[in-house]
Chain A
Amino acid sequence: MAEMLRPVTVDELVEAVRSTPRVLAVGARTKSRLSAVPGVALLSMTGLRGIIEYEPTEFTFTALAGTPVREIAAALAEKGQYLPFDPMLAESGATLGGTVAAGLNGPGRFRYGGVRDFILGVRFVDGTGRLLRLGGKVVKNAAGFDLPKFFTGSLGRFGVLAEITFKVFPRPASRLTLRLPAGDAAGVTGILTGAAGTRWDLEALDASLDDNTVQARLAGPEAAIDTLAGEILRRWPGRKLLPDEALEIWREAAEFSWAHPGGVLVKVALTPAQLPALAALGNALAGVRMRVTNGGNTAFLSLPSPVDAPRLGEGLRTLGTSALTLWGNAPLWPAGRDKPAIASAVKAALDPQNRFPSLDES
């Protein structure tokens, strides 16, 4: 691979963008498929790291886009705070900018929302090389268009993020995870939808479609969640996980260590009612592994090799879901993608010279 540009200041970043006709920013490349784009220079953001402002009393921080989320999580934890969407791949080195660009949420997305719900403001370089700040630095702001949300999931194809401001919350006093066997995929859907609509205020609601087991996580004062756990276990048989066991399960989910290394990993956005059909689709593919998070609104499918990727894509299209490949040699958009005229017009507004690859270049 050609030598990467690696700016260490925002000025250098602006200069690097201006001087490179075809360029894509990358962080730690923990979602390697997202930056596997032919014909562009890669711009490493790993030199632009560090927390610029953190005011625990404001529930906000601003950090350079190349900052590893692990570093941020540690700084927040020191003050008893956290990013409630549980950034994924933190231990693998994922950066804040990469997390935003990928639009990837962890299990905690279930309770208070995802990256899109906690991002407040961005400083970014547009395709004409201008350094712009949109959104705000306070927890509430309605001035101007919400470009920070638009950048969530936009894969670096509309601008390069330099700095990002997030809202954070106080960390819950304690956590408790329950493991609930569900029998089959329909049983999983039943527990997920049944548990989501209750008074329990669950923090995370995940499942494995390999063994049809649900993981439900409570968070709050210890005495309270213990009582709630008892009520949940009276409704569905299961057991409380020991603290270490629970940590390991959530770490495995966050790091995708359950997935086939070197295989294809696909994120699917769907609704809980679509889970049985998704399970049927997956089970027809050799060696598939399937995890569900976000109360059944997000699924991750891992294939041992790209051989079955076309069949998976066709099945996802038929199901009417949308999907994104995170790892492996498979189409970036396995279920295809709508291409309204407005998408090209907004791309032209932010990047008139096509300095950044389009969403179709992959």
Chain B
Amino acid sequence: MSTLPVLQRLAALLPGGRLLTGPAQLASYESDGLTAFQERPLAVAVPETTGEVIALVRFCHAERLPFVARGSGTSLSGGSLPIKEGIVITLNRLNSILRLDPAQRFAVVEPGVINAQVSVAAAPHGLHYAPDPSSQSICTIGGNVAFNSGGAHCLKHGMTSNHVLGIKAVLATGEVVEWGGASRDQVGPDWCGLFVGNEGLFGIALEITLQLLPKSECFHTVLAGYRTLEQAGDAVSAIVASGLLPGAIEIMDALALEAASAAVHAEYPPGCEAVLIVELEGPRETVAVERVRLDEIIAASGPVEARPARDAEERLAIWKGRKSAFSAVGRLSPDFIVQDGVVPRRRLGEALRHINAWSREMGVRCANVFHAGDGNLHPLILYDGRETGALARAEALAGRILKMCVEMGGSITGEHGVGVEKREYLPDMFSADEIDCMKRIAAAFDPRGIANPGKMFPVAGAPALVQHGLHPLEKAGMISRE
């Protein structure tokens, strides 16, 4: 083995000064969407080809040098938080759509391709890429794959994993594998399914084959205001029981409405504790029939007011208000914690009553925006870090909510992943044997423990993690979260 310093040998793999080591260069990689945590890596590697990524990972394996793969750094669970004694491999320059086959409806992309760009490229063919995380204008497919990202349309269309047909990846051992492909079927174990959502613990995806779907021809989007959250919840149950399959069912509570009104001047029915947004999609003939049924159900659910979007512009306005809600609430408070636990849909009302009661009892304000169709909560817990004890109270509320989700038979995370943020809660959901089983699988992919160590699994003695304020990109209005 060469006796040259590690970074010098690493730099030789990336000609043209693409190994960043200066403090100013490293600063912007110190944290991701979970801004509470900052860590300065040894260096940031900026590969431009898959060959360079493979060489970097093989180098890391040989040197036992930890690495964290990173796209746009929008993870809300600290998934791309750097490691002090390791490097960051940033994949933004691997941003080519390698192939787009409109007849067979698939695209092969590099990991640094931006989520929304896939749909932009597919649009001239009447196709789109369905998963739509709120950060879709900036987040990358590589990051979506690592964390199995969701979005507002998961009930009908599923998460990232349901749209990945094939993966070429370099594993943490340096082995290069190719699983699946352009076919919407396969034989043998579903390796792509296992890889998606690995949180960077297995390796780095180099080429991803995505299925594309025809764009929906027609939408019917309704915004309905209710006096109480329970009424909004009951309306969701009635819609679900009716046999309709909406593309999205969302609820915003009063605090979220207040914030969205202030931020994007969205107008909501006055005096409402909750607003429900429901969207049907499909061929115009189908939507024409189903909208009648939906409008009847909503009318019977006792809303203060129900407003169907009359055109595409009104539909976009409804979604703009919804998607801005989180960053808008964030502006109400210097600091906040955001979560994405899941409860069984029928227990949404009960879950919200608990959250509101605890919020009052503990003197911690909490806004709720959630994917009601799949029971995915997004409580945003507000606090002021300068106030003594405020952080501890906010953390205590966050912990109670996550434990409630598990006790109700749900999950600690619906779509943001475990990352560093929720790793201490993994044992609430899985037994020691189950965590051991997952660790053994992680070790099979990464026997030297160099791929994104410290994520997903509990770390003894780790400090509690808290979200402080808006992400810089949120402040700039570039991204929003759900």
Contacts and interface: CB of A to CB of B under 8 A. Distances in A.
B413 A143 contact: yes
B411 A138 contact: yes
A113 B331 CA distance: 40
Contact of A117 (B162, B217, B345, B418): B162
B380 interface: no
Interface string A149-172: 111111101100000000001110
A322 B165 CA distance: 14
A117 B429 CA distance: 22
Interface in B268-298: 282-286, 288-290
B285 A139 contact: no
A103 interface: yes
A280 interface: no
B322 interface: no
A323 interface: yes
B175 interface: yes
Contact of B190 (A134, A149, A295, A350): A149
A175 interface: no
Given A132-B437, A137-B409, A197 B127 contact: yes
**Interface size bracket, B side:** 35 or more
A359 B189 CA distance: 9
B197 interface: yes
A74 interface: no
B57 to A, nearest CB: 14
A359 B422 CA distance: 36
B49 interface: no
A141 interface: yes
Contacts of B194: 145-147, 149-150, 346
Given A224-B289, A228-B283, A130 B437 contact: yes
B188 A297 contact: no
A58 B408 CA distance: 13
B440 interface: yes
A142 B148 contact: yes
A140 B185 contact: no
A193 interface: yes
A126 interface: yes
B376 interface: yes
Contact of A197 (B125, B286, B288): B125
Contacts of A59: 155, 240, 345
A173 interface: yes
Interface stretch (A3-11, A256-264, A337-345): A337-345
Nearest to B237: A57
Contact of B187 (A144, A228, A267): A267
Nearest to A324: B187
B150 A142 contact: yes
Interface stretch (B5-13, B102-110, B306-314, B355-363): B102-110
Contact of B184 (A295, A338, A343): A295
Contacts of B175: 340-342
B143 interface: no
Contacts of B447: 345
B444 A294 contact: no
B283 A197 contact: no
A333 B243 CA distance: 41
A141 B415 CA distance: 7
B187 A138 contact: no
Interface centre among A134, A145, A150, A225 (most CB of B within 10 A): A145
A144 B240 contact: no
B161 interface: yes
Nearest to A338: B178
A273 interface: yes
**Interface size bracket, A side:** 35 or more
Contacts of A147: 194, 437-438, 441
B318 interface: no
Contact of A273 (B104, B150, B171, B285): B104
B222 interface: no
Contact of A142 (B177, B183, B184, B415): B415
Contacts of A144: 418, 426, 429-430, 434, 438, 456
B4 interface: no
B444 A140 contact: no
Contacts of A269: 183, 185-187
Contacts of B162: 113, 116-117
Contact of A141 (B102, B192, B413): B413
Contacts of A341: 173, 175
A143 B376 CA distance: 13
A19 interface: no
Interface centre among B171, B178, B245, B343 (most CB of A within 10 A): B245
Contacts of B105: 196-197
Nearest to A352: B440
B214 interface: yes
Interface in A257-307: 267, 269-273, 294-295, 297-298
Contacts of A357: none
A153 B190 contact: yes
Contacts of B376: 140
Interface in B143-159: 147-148, 150, 154-156, 158-159
A114 interface: yes
B121 interface: no
A349 interface: yes
Contact of A103 (B102, B190, B286, B417): B190
Contacts of B342: 136, 138, 140-141
B174 to A, nearest CB: 10
A201 interface: yes
Nearest to B154: A140
A108 B477 CA distance: 41
A136 B411 contact: yes
B282 A220 contact: yes
Contacts of B154: 139-140
Nearest to A133: B434
B387 interface: no
A237 interface: no
Contacts of B184: 109, 294-295, 297-298
A18 to B, nearest CB: 14
Contacts of B422: 143
B285 A223 contact: yes
Contacts of B178: 338
A166 B214 CA distance: 26
Contacts of B282: 201, 220
Contacts of A201: 214, 282-283, 286
15 contacts: A56-B241, A57-B237, A57-B345, A139-B345, A143-B422, A145-B197, A148-B193, A149-B190, A173-B243, A196-B214, A199-B214, A267-B187, A294-B184, A321-B183, A338-B177
Interface of B: 102-105, 125-127, 147-148, 150, 154-156, 158-159, 161-162, 171, 173, 175, 177-178, 181-194, 196-198, 214, 216-217, 237, 240-241, 243-245, 282-286, 288-290, 342-346, 371, 374-376, 409-418, 422, 426, 429-431, 433-434, 437-438, 440-445, 447, 456
9 closest A-B pairs by beta carbon, nearest first, are: A149-B193, A224-B285, A345-B444, A154-B189, A221-B289, A349-B440, A297-B184, A150-B194, A324-B187
Given A225-B286, A273-B103, 5 more contacts: A136-B342, A140-B159, A153-B186, A197-B125, A197-B214
